[in-house]
Amino acid sequence: MGALRGSQTFSRFFVIGELADDEPAALLKRIKTQTFKPLDPEEDLPERHGWANVMDPFDLELDHEKVFFNEYLTLGFRHDRWAIPGPLLKSQLREAEQKVLEKKGIEKLGKQAKAELKAMVIKKLRRQLPPATKSIDFVWNRNEGLVLFYSHAKRLRELVQEIFEKTFKVQLLLESPGTGAERQGMDAAHTKVFANLEMTSLAMAEGPAPMIQKELS
C-alpha cells in the first residue's frame, strides 16, 4: 500500500527546521547512512528498519533517479523482523530438548539450560526462514515541507520520525488539529480560544433509534 499502488491511507507530517544543505547530492549522502541493512541470523536483533527504494524494498542501491522526482523525495521505509511461527518453535524446541536429555541421561533441564537451548533453536530457525518484510511509502514534498507516510500504525510512525530526524537533522511533526491551526496562522484571540477548546464525543448514547433511522427502515 502507498503512494504508487494500493490504498491511499496515510499519515501527514510537517518538516520543522532548516536543512544544513538541501541539495540532492547532500541529501542522498545522508540517506545512504541510514539505508536498510538486512537482518543477520547470527545477531540478537529481533528487527531492523531503514530506507530502501520506494519501488522495490529489496533494492538498497539508492541513487538520484530512484529518490528524487522534481520537488518530491521518495523512499521506502523498510521494516524487517523475525517472525518464527509459535508451533514450529515449540516442536523444534521439544525435539532439541529430548535429544539433550537422552544424550546426557537426565530427566529434566534446568532453567538456564532451557534458555540457552531456546536461543540456539531460534538462531537455527532464523538461518532457515526469511524475516517478515514490510515496506511503507514515504513521500516528502520539499517545497511545501510536507511528508506523507502511508501508514497509521503508531509504532511505525514513531520509527519513521526517529530515522528521519537521524537522517536529515530536522524534526518531523505529526499533523494534528493544533499543528494544522498553527500553520494556518492565528492571532492572539484565536490562539486563546483554541487553547480552551474541549474534546467532544459525537457518539450517540444508547437508546431508541433516531427518527431518521426509523423512517429509512
Sign of CA dihedral 55, 57, 61, 62: positive
pLDDT in tens, 83-99: 999 999 999 999 999 99
Write the pLDDT tens digit of every residue in 123-143.
999 999 999 999 999 999 999
Pairing of strands 146-149, 171-174: unpaired
| pLDDT for residue 181 | 54
DSSP string covering 75-88: EEEEEEE----HHH
CB atoms near residue 1 (< 10 Å): 14
Confidence of residue 212 (pLDDT cuts 50, 70, 90): very low
Lowest mean per-residue pLDDT among 45-49, 124-128, 203-207: 203-207
Q: Is the dihedral of CA 32, 170, 183, 174 positive or negative?
A: positive
**Distant-in-sequence, close-in-space partners of 82: CB < 8 Å, separation ≥ 6:** 39, 46, 47, 122, 126, 129, 131, 132
Average pLDDT over the chain, rounded to whole?
Answer: 87
Looking up cell 437508546 gives 207
Neighbours of 15 (CB within 10 A): 20
Query: Taking residues 101-130, what's their average pLDDT?
Result: 94
The answer to whether 63 touches 95, Cβ cutoff 8 Å, is no
Angle of helix 86-104 relative to helix 111-128, nearest 10 degrees, comes to 130
206 pLDDT tier (thresholds 50, 70, 90): low
| Report field, pTM of the whole predicted structure over 0.75 | yes
Residue 166 has pLDDT above 60, yes or no: yes
Q: Which of 27-31, 93-97, 103-107 has the lowest mean pLDDT?
A: 103-107
Q: Does residue 106 carry a pLDDT above 80?
A: yes
